[in-house]
Amino acid sequence: MRHPKRTRFVLALLCVVLGTYPLSIAFGFVRVSDAQVHAPMWVIALIGLVFLIAGCMIFLANHSRANDLLASILCLLFGIIGMWVSLFGSTEGFSGGVPLVSHEANAEIARWVFGCGALICFSISAYAFRRSLKSAG
């Protein structure tokens, strides 16, 4: 890579720009029909925050207390979004699955997978938060 700082800045800026779109939808600045949105607006806002936090982490690009704290928040948001999908997500949004298994069974498998993934994200978030506290002291 010839210009790692410039590349990092461009990627961080791209994440921030990508995060503003879901946030704009969540806060009503961009109008979308109810048929286009399959989640509550607070989930859409969390998705935007995920991109914004990722952009900040790319911009920081080091192992600092701030980056550890942002990592814990990022994983917490992933967990919250995954848990919402697991508990309340529409089964029409689940695709793929195990062959020769009914759609209902595949939907239950998907809910369990999202739930387990959310629990893993919560665990990683707790670890990252603890790490950020240790680096403070």
Mean pLDDT, 10 residues at a time, over the chain (137 residues)?
Answer: 79 95 94 84 96 93 81 96 93 80 88 96 94 75
- Side-chain-facing half-sphere of 124: CA atoms under 13 Å: 17
Please tell me the chain's helix, strand, coil percentages from 3-state DSSP, rounded to the nearest 5. Answer: 75, 0, 25
Q: Are residues 57 and 82 in the same domain?
A: no
Cα dihedral sign, 63-49-118-80: positive
Q: Are residues 57 and 93 in the same domain?
A: no
Residues 132 and 125 sit within 8 Å (Cβ to Cβ): no
Q: Are residues 73 and 86 in the same domain?
A: yes
Angstrom CA distances, 19 to 40, 53, 61, 110, stand at 17, 9, 19, 26
Task: Give pTM, 2 decimals.
Answer: 0.86
Q: Are residues 85 and 102 in the same domain?
A: yes
- Report pLDDT for 3: 67
* Number of domains forming the structure of the chain: 2
- Report pLDDT for 137: 62
- Report pLDDT for 86: 94
Q: Chain-centre distance of CA 129, in angstroms?
A: 17
Straight-line distance from the first to the last Cα atom of the chain, in angstroms, rounded to the nearest whole number: 36
Q: Are residues 71 and 117 in the same domain?
A: yes
- Report pLDDT for 33: 84
- Report pLDDT for 63: 67
Q: What is the spatial distance between Cα 115 and Cα 2, in angstroms, rounded to a whole number?
A: 42
Q: What single-letter amino acid sits at 56? A: C
Q: Are residues 45 and 69 in the same domain?
A: no
Q: Are residues 68 and 122 in the same domain?
A: yes
